[in-house]
Amino acid sequence: MGLGAYIAVSAALFALGIVAILVRRNVLYVLMGIEMILNAANINFVAFDRFNQSAGGGGGLEGRMFAIFVIILAAAEAAVALAIVLNVFHLFNSVKPSEADLLRE
Amino acid sequence: MQDQILTWITFLPLLGMGLILLIPKTSLNLIKGVSLAATFVPMVLSTWLYFGGFKHLTPGDFDQARMAGDILASQFVQRVPWIDSIGVEYYVGVDGLSIALVWLTTILLFIGVIASFGMEKAGKAYYALLLMLEVGISGVFVSLDLFLFYVFWEIMLLPMYFLIGIWGGPRREYAAIKFFLYTLAGSVLMLIAIVALRLDSGTFSIPKLTELAAQGKLLGANLPAAGELLGMKFTTWVFWFLFVGFAIKVPVFPFHTWLPDAHVEAPTPISVILAGILLKLGGYGMLRACFPFAPSAFHEFAYVLAILGVISIVYGAFVALGQTDFKKMVAYSSVSHMGYVLLGMGAFTVWGMEGAVLQMFNHGTSSAALFLIVGVIYDRAHHRDLNAFGGMSQIMPRYWALTTLGFFAALGLPGLAGFVSEALTLIGAYQAGDARFRTLVFISLLGVVFTAAFLLWAMQRVFLGQKNPKYLDFEEINFRELVCQAPLLFLCILFGILPAYLLDWMHPSVQNLLAILGGKA
Amino acid sequence: MNPYLEGLRGIQPEIVMTITALAALVFDLLLKGRESRRVGYLTLTGLALTSWFLLGQWSEAAPRTVFGMVAVDQFGNFFKLFTVAALAMVVLLVMHDHREREHGVGEYYFLLLGASLGIFFMVSTNNLLLMVLGFELLSLASYSLAGFHKGDRKSAEAAMKYVIFGGLATGIMLYGISLLYGLTGTIDLAKMGASDGGLVAQLAQSPVPVGIAMVLILAGFAYKVSVAPFHFWTPDVYEGAPTPVTTFLAVGSKAAGFGVMLRFLGAIFLRPGVADSVAAYGDRIGLLLAILAAITMTLGNFAALRQSSLKRMLAYSSIAHAGYVLIGVSCMTEAGFSAALYYLAAYYFMNLGAFGFLLYFEGVNGNDSVDSLKGMGFKAPLISIVMVAFLVSLTGLPPTVGFYGKYLLFVEGVNQGLYWLVVVAALNSVVSLFYYLRVAKALFLAKPADREAAPAPVLTGFVTAFGVATVGLGIYITPLRAWAERSLDVLRG
Amino acid sequence: MHFLEFNPQQDFHLLFLSFVLPLVGYTIQIFFGKKLPRRGDWLLTSFMFVAMSITVLMFAKSLWAAYHGQEFRHHSGHEAGLWFHWLYSSDAAAAGTPNVSAAIYYDSLGAAMYAVVGIVSFCVHLFSIGYMAQDKRYHIFFANISLFTFAMLGLVLSDNILFLFIFWELMGLMSYLLIGHFSHDPSQSYFHRWATQACKKAFLTTRVGDTCLLIGMVIFYQHFGTFNFTELWRLAQEEVARNGGQYPTWMTVAGLFVFGGTVGKSAQFPLHIWLPDAMAGPTPVSAMIHAATMVAAGVFLLGRTYPLMSPEVLSVVAATGTFTALFAASIGTTANDLKAVLAWSTISQLGFMVAAVGLGGVVAGMFHMVTHAFFKACLFLSAGSVIHGCHHEQDMRNMGGVRKYMPVTFACMLASTIAIAGIPFFSGFYSKDMIILRAWENVLGGHFDGASFFAAVALPVAACLTAFYMFRLIFMTFFGEYRPGTVPSPFAHHGGHDDHAHGDHGHDEHGHAEHAHAGHGHDEHASHGHGHDHAKHAPAVHAHAAKAHDGHGHGAHGHADHGHADHGHAAHGHGGHGEHAKPHESPLPMLIALCVLATLGVFGGHFWPADLGHSLAFWHHAHTWFETSVTLESLYGASAPIERELLGHAGHTAHIVALSVSLTVASLGILIAYLIYGRGWERSQRIAGKITGALGDIYGVIKNKYYVDEAVGCAIVVDLEAKGNKRYEPDVSVIGGSVALGRALSWVDKNIVDGLVNLVGRTGRAIGVGSSHFDRVVVDGAVNGVGLITQTFGSVVRLLQSGRVQQYATFAVFGGLFLAAWLILL
């Protein structure tokens, strides 16, 4: 299985994530979309790392390290985001981002 | 002292401003005293500079000066590095073009301060701003470094904005911001042109730039795309950017609409300064920092300038004829009068140029006097409706006499200053030896007639005819008002009879300028 | 000496700041909310210490890298110092913000310091990983700060918008970085920019992925510095967030974003004398940025025209200023970058002052509408006059630091033949005058207000100091400019 | 050296002294006049006396020179090195640029004019002492006539056309102030309103001409590079010579423009309209304007610029002059206002002078100018004396038989009238005859062109009319019975009248009569109800009360009503007064002035002739001093460009023809006048009525000055009922039109020019949502145009910044896609 396949998967995941963010009306799905994008990036990192090494390129596990950190970031971000969303839910009684639009123009 | 005299003239008001800010606002008399002193001393200095210090140069002197690298042969030069990193200097000096205007500035500011004593609203802040304004104005006239020039140019805006905006009439906010925005719109374009000039020539020194331009070395060669902007040659767009910036100040026909508003709303002393000097900055700027930097473009568009001038002359006169507001009428008369400046410059003859410069000075005195005159009656009647007065000459004969003098000075009666400049301008324009210019001269004479028409008509409506019973109790023009107007009107007469006392000063520089622009340098 | 300790000495400021953050948290818990001002003073002390170490590094001439990641150099130092200054101002604002006393301000300071820590790392590294980590640290802290007022719907909404938009942007950027890593096989900017291998090779083979990667990464930066079309979150978040936070976002975070952008672009494309495919590609990107700059400043200015809330107006104006800074960036030259740096410095002064003024009058008037300022200029003259100075500077009129910043940008723009951009910028500054003057107008051109304005000497003092700096540095320009240029040395790839 | 020989070193200083004395007087008077005893009149009059003596002395010198056949042309610059460097303090300072320097140029023509001005002006000063005694602004009045004189003296002395122009305009200013003298004096209720507009009218009308002069001047300067007269003459000759004896076209153009100046100042058609209204000023001022200063200046200018005039220009000049002469004379026959008659006669006489110059008879023209100055001044002052005597009545129909009460005035006036009518032995005859002679010489001498022919025919007619209306004036005023109040007239009135009464108290016996009259007048006023009803129908009455009704073809009764409507009380008051107070002779100073002028008016033609015996014989009138000393050669040097030689024979015939013609027309005119007006008032009215009836509308047209004023739109309507200033709005016409244009433009300026930005703003308001927002943002102190942009951007921003975070994200993502596409594809 070649690099192309990984890239294809990650690209698809990336696209799906974007779409999720843009179109889902429930904020939780939106957050998931973000997670998907991050993970798409992760796939890239790991794949590129792997194939660079086999190609004898730069190597040095940089990609995988990066991936690990990104996973941590994703977790942290999810935590913060969920806290915020919770607060919003209390104040707006809704988890629909489109319904919180006091701030405009 | 002598070589820093210009610095003193420019920055003494700043000193005064600092003092005023330290004085508690309750002790108003002290504030007045300080501001009086802070404008009086520069006036004395500049008067000495004009009559005593300034040296009349011969062509030989100009050649030497050119050898020495100052093509303008400025005097009382002071050069101190300011921002080394981009070669900006504190570089000041006066030549025949600027000295008279420096003198006028100090005079009018002094008069402006005296005139302000009549405003009970005027307090600490007012005088502080007034002094700051003077710094900006005289700074522009003396600076020989383009960057410095621009800095002073912008420094003027803010005080003017507040002076109109805080102490002005009912629509002051509108007028103030309009003034500010129009001028700024012009000056940002100027800034771009300045930047471009700097990058092409590597210097901010106005004499240096002038010299380079005269030698045809200022064509944007050192800029990407040979400095072309939207297909316009470097010289072309630099010329227009600078020109518009100055034209808005003059103001020239399409850009003049800020003027009536600003004038009508501004308090009397500010109108005096606005009409007396600020408008001159435009004309002076063109001569100092627009034409010399793009001579080719200047020659290319000289006729356009002349046309704009003539439009301003005639149009201004007609619009003034249509006014019912005394002050607005005077404001539009300014538009008309400043048109001569452009016509004369466009003509590109000795007398045309000198007429233009002379017109700047003479309009400075006469229009200032007119605004003071309007102020006098406004302070009493609290309105300026030309049709609501009448018979004033019987109620305030001395005031009427002064007004008559002012009006006839304004309509260019021979023997008074206005005539000399207008005649010189017209003869100069006619001498341009070109049928197109002659046509313009003929057209502009319409303006001459209609200027007389609207002034005399105003005279009739306000001063002659039936007394308006409402105003029988007006007291005659008081001492302070007299002190403000008398010197200006005196200058009108003096320079009408002895124009040599202005022309001798500016003549060498004008000829030098013509030589430069004509590529004979 | 042990290289490890050597390295620790390299990150002294960061360490101090971390300790301060934790200390603030603990101290607050000990105080149980009583006299929370003390926490503020503690933080300020910490910041003072930090800046002392920073100055220590500032005097060091040679740049160095510790732990193979943290680059200790003038460029980072430049931003760090300004961040500390900004943060100090923010802390001051927090202490004067009448709404903040009762909240657990410990967390507040903790988060602020955390965000600054993020800035510290992101601006001082050539390693994309560390850059991302700092970036995210800043972002996460900012999200929570934006929503710090729990009961406040606006605040909450702001936080949510910020987190969603931010998450998206970060994700996109990360994806871009992953692509770039794939293309170059390294996450070290220095290696990427090296004229042998790195990007140079890739450009020839596969321009398309490089283009995508570039755009995605730039999008991430653009979001941070709120450049169109990634600026949408800015007004809402700025308005919703507590004013001190807004200040921090508008000044610290934005400047940091530019720091990253400059370092990234500088490392890859800024290679004087080298005229290869990468340099050419850099110019293309420069043009792209130039277009974005024009759009951004125009959008920001014209949107600001119609704002009735001073806070939101400043938000839009900050977008416009991002556009101005971008002129310098888009020149893709050292001079351009230094002009951008200078403008950022100027931007620090003017905006911190302006926000200080805003916060003061929020306290006085209870709201941030421009109309509520009517006639207050006569009640609080000093701060108002200083505000006029800021406005003048923001408009870009001499003799202020803002004018000189614009001047430098114009010079470089013309020098690079971006006449049209310069003209747009110039006209934009006229438009901007138009809404800035509305503040001056409200302050002074109205009848004196009948309410009194409670004095706040410390705050006023600070604001005035910034005002003095704004004017003073506009007249005595050389040092700041020299510093900005000096900070750039490290960027030469 | 004979004491009458011209001595440059001293005489130029004398001339200069005589020229500045009035200025010095003016300055003193303006500042201290009020405080001086007798409000300073003695000061100025004595100054003027000194000046006059000098002018006469200098004139004598020119006579002496002429008698000894010497040329009399002196230039202070060349002979005494007296220059006034104007533009630049020295030619060195001018450094390569032509400098403008002025000097005194004093030749025989100048000498004559100079003396005339001096003498007339002195007489006017003298006269004013009596005439203006009750004036509120007595000292100002004196100051102004002094400066007026100063300007004219300067004009005569200046050696270059630019300075001539300067003094020319200065004179315009003084005429403005003097004509407007009563506009500051509401007690003169009628003149008050009239003067208010007349002064402006005069200045602006002449200003039109002045502008033409300026252009002409500039054109000449452009080609010849000098303003100096002698230089101009020389260069003109060279130019013509170079051009093969032909005048180049540009000279024609320039010449026409210069002549435009004359048309304005010398009140030639169509710019004559200001002169009749100039009578709104006090009578002495009219005397100045009509005799020595304003109008003379125009003709003098023609004399100075004659060599620059191409034949074409001259034909135009001749035609204009002739037409004006005829035109004005015809109007003169219909005027009833004493001064109006004189005013129209002035215009007519000016026509003669201008025509003369046009016919090549510049000498004749100048000669007539000089003679005319004396007798016209005398006429006006006499008229003033009559008016003064008749208690400010000006309407001749309310006079009659005045000679019994005012013998001296009568004598003077009669003498001058004979002179102007052109009876042999009186100065007017010689000059006028010379002009007609000139015309016939042209016709008979082969220089036959349309203008000459027209002149040869029309001028005699004009002369005839002159004789007619002048004697009509004499008969109506001085003969028959004194008949005050025959027609109501707006002139007399209580305010001024009572002043007058008290004033008179001082120096003659009629004080008591005044009181009676005053009371009487009051009753009349009180009891006069119905007069005011008519105000509804006819609120306005023309400057000359009579004109109103004739112009509109009303009957005499209707006219009376007009009178009531406006000034019934005044008229009746006056009527009442008539029964008690007779006219009275004027005080001594006035009479002296009259006599001096009358004498000169009679003998002015001889000018202390070179050969007394010959000059008494009128067929030998050519021997006057003028003929011998003021010749084209002596004026313009060697050979004037177009010196029209006379063919001996034709010349002789011409003499006979001209002589007979002048005699015939003069006597004819007088005869008719006698037949109509000489034989009793009632009969005169009857005959006049018949004639006017026969003429019908034509009479009305003439009476209304051919409606020229109305055409130009500056017909002055004096409405004594008018309140406030509404009447001062110009009516629809040329002038009204330009004001309207001004209004229109100022609207344009406010709404379009400003609206190039502003209009946009308004549109923005129209389409912008929530105009309150717009008001706050745009109107509320913002630059106009940003309005629309703000609004459009408003909608844009409202669209983008919707507050929906996902929408933001969408925009961002698609924006990003575009960027990527741009970077990759383009």
Tell me what percent of the residues of chain D surpass a pLDDT of 70.
73
Chains B and A are in contact, defined as 3 or more C-beta pairs closer than 8 angstroms: no
The pLDDT value recorded for residue D608 is 43
Partner-chain contact D803 A23, CB within 8 Å = no
Radius of gyration of chain A (CA): 17
- pLDDT for D715-750, tens place per residue? 555 544 444 444 444 444 456 666 777 777 777 666
The pLDDT value recorded for residue B43 is 94
- pLDDT for B254-308, tens place per residue? 788 888 888 989 999 999 999 999 999 999 999 999 999 999 999 999 999 999 9
Chains in touch with A (≥3 Cβ pairs < 8 A): C, D
Its domain, for residue B324, covers 301-521
Give the Cα separation of D596 and D573 in Å (integer).
Answer: 36
The pLDDT value recorded for residue C100 is 67
Residues in chain C: 493
To test the contact with chain D by mutation, choose from C168, C298, C306 the residue with the greatest count of D C-beta atoms within 10 A, namely C306
User: For residue C70, what is the DSSP state?
Assistant: E
**pLDDT, mean over chain B:** 89
DSSP string over A3-23: HHHHHHHHHHHHHHHHHHHHH
Cα Dmax for chain C: 71
Partner-chain contact C398 B150, CB within 8 Å = yes
Residue D408 has pLDDT above 90, yes or no: no
Residues in chain B: 521
Q: Does A97 touch chain D (CB under 8 A)?
A: yes
Partner-chain contact C437 B161, CB within 8 Å = yes
Domain assignment present for B237: no
Radius of gyration of chain D (CA): 32
Pairing label, strands C64-66, C70-72? antiparallel
Give the Cα separation of C318 and C352 in Å (integer).
Answer: 11
Mean pLDDT of A22-37: 92
CA B472-B476-B480 angle, 5° bins = 145
The pLDDT value recorded for residue D549 is 36
Identify which has the larger pLDDT, D215 or D434: D215
Q: What is the three-class DSSP state of C49? A: helix
Residue D230 has pLDDT above 90, yes or no: no
Mean pLDDT of C309-334: 93
Mean pLDDT of D255-278: 88
Cα distances (angstroms) measured from residue D610 to each of B81, D67, D431: 84, 7, 17
Give the Cα separation of D121 and D116 in Å (integer).
Answer: 8
Q: Are A22 and D810 in contact (CB under 8 A)?
A: yes
Mean pLDDT of D627-654: 59
The pLDDT value recorded for residue C315 is 94
- pLDDT for B56-87, tens place per residue? 888 888 888 888 888 888 889 999 988 887 88
The pLDDT value recorded for residue B34 is 93
Identify which has the larger pLDDT, C99 or C406: C406
CA B107-B112-B115 angle, 5° bins = 130
The pLDDT value recorded for residue D440 is 82
User: For residue B84, what is the DSSP state?
Assistant: G
| Residue given tokens 């509120």 in the structure block | D136
Q: What kind and span of H or E run contains D224?
A: helix D189-224
Q: What are the residues whose beta carbons fall under 8 Å from the beta carbon of C241, sequence distance 6 or more?
A: C145, C146, C147, C148, C155, C158, C159, C162, C249
The pLDDT value recorded for residue D301 is 92
Give the Cα separation of A99 and A95 in Å (integer).
Answer: 8
Q: Are B326 and B377 in contact (CB under 8 A)?
A: yes
SS3 content of chain A, % helix, strand, coil (to 5): 80, 0, 20
- How confident is residue C317, by pLDDT bands cut at 50, 70 and 90? very high
Residue D643 has pLDDT above 60, yes or no: no
- How confident is residue D702, by pLDDT bands cut at 50, 70 and 90? confident
Structure tokens at B407: 């009006």
The pLDDT value recorded for residue B355 is 92
DSSP string over C189-238: HHHHH-SSSHHHHHHHH-HHHHHHHHHHHHHHHHHHTT-TTS-THHHHHH
The pLDDT value recorded for residue D234 is 86
pLDDT-wise least confident of B134-148, B317-331, D182-196, D539-553 = D539-553
Q: Spell out the SS3 assignment of C418-484.
A: CHHHHHHHHHHHHHHHHHHHHHHHHHHCCCCCCCCCCCCHHHHHHHHHHHHHHHHHHHCCHHHHHHH
- How confident is residue B383, by pLDDT bands cut at 50, 70 and 90? confident
Domain count for chain B: 1
Partner-chain contact D803 A21, CB within 8 Å = no
Residue D618 has pLDDT above 50, yes or no: no
The pLDDT value recorded for residue D566 is 36
How far apart are the CA of D166 and the nearest CA of chain B, in angstroms? 5
Q: Which fold has domain A3-92?
A: Helix Hairpins (1.10.287)
For residue D84, list its beta bridge partners: D102
How far apart are the CA of C94 and the nearest CA of chain A, in angstroms? 21
Residue D548 has pLDDT above 70, yes or no: no
Q: Which of D686, D673, D694 is nearest to D476 (CA)?
A: D673
Q: D783 contacts in C (CB within 8 Å)?
A: 434
Of residues C233, C303, C434, nearest to D793 (C-beta): C303
**pLDDT, mean over chain D:** 74
Chains in touch with B (≥3 Cβ pairs < 8 A): C, D
- pLDDT for D32-51, tens place per residue? 878 877 788 888 898 999 99
Q: Are D301 and D362 in contact (CB under 8 A)?
A: no
Q: Are B15 and B38 in contact (CB under 8 A)?
A: yes
Q: Are C313 and C371 in contact (CB under 8 A)?
A: no
The pLDDT value recorded for residue D538 is 35
Mean pLDDT of D520-546: 36
Pairing label, strands D105-107, D73-75? antiparallel
For residue D85, list its beta bridge partners: D101
Of residues A22, A98, A100, nearest to D813 (C-beta): A22
Q: Does D795 touch chain C (CB under 8 A)?
A: no
For residue B79, list its beta bridge partners: B91
Partner-chain contact B178 D180, CB within 8 Å = no
Q: C147 contacts in A (CB within 8 Å)?
A: 84, 87
The pLDDT value recorded for residue B425 is 92
- How confident is residue C228, by pLDDT bands cut at 50, 70 and 90? confident
Residue B133 has pLDDT above 90, yes or no: yes
Q: Are D576 and D367 in contact (CB under 8 A)?
A: no
Of residues A38, A77, A102, nearest to C153 (C-beta): A102
Would the pTM of this model clear 0.95, i.e. be above it?
A: no
Q: What are the residues whose beta carbons fall under 8 Å from the beta carbon of C327, sequence distance 6 or more?
A: C290, C293, C336, C339, C340, C409, C410, C412, C413, C418, C421, C422, C425
Domain ranges of chain A: 3-92
pLDDT-wise least confident of C421-435, D320-334, D575-589, D661-675 = D575-589
pLDDT-wise least confident of C86-90, C242-246, D412-416 = D412-416
pLDDT-wise least confident of C59-63, D92-96, D650-654 = D650-654
The pLDDT value recorded for residue D491 is 63
The pLDDT value recorded for residue D774 is 39
Q: Spell out the SS3 assignment of D491-554.
A: CCCHHHHHHHHHHHHHHCCCHHHHHHHHHHHHHHHHCCCHHHHHHHHCCCEECCHHHHHHHCCC
Mean pLDDT of D87-110: 84
pLDDT-wise least confident of B318-322, D152-156, D630-634, D770-774 = D770-774
Q: What kind and span of H or E run contains D739?
A: helix D734-748
How far apart are the CA of C266 and the nearest CA of chain B, in angstroms? 22
**Does the bond joining C399 to the residue before it have cis omega, within 30 degrees of 0?**
yes
- Rounded to two decimals, the ipTM of the complex is 0.86
What one-letter code names the amino acid at A65?
M
- pLDDT for D766-782, tens place per residue? 433 333 343 334 433 44
Cα distances (angstroms) measured from residue D41 to each of D28, D36, D298, D392: 11, 9, 29, 22
Partner-chain contact A88 C157, CB within 8 Å = yes
How far apart are the CA of B329 and the nearest CA of chain C, in angstroms? 26
- pLDDT for C117-152, tens place per residue? 999 999 999 899 999 999 999 999 999 999 988 888
Mean pLDDT of D688-703: 78
The pLDDT value recorded for residue B14 is 93
Task: Compute the CA torsion angle D681, D687, D689, D695 (nearest 10 deg).
Answer: -140
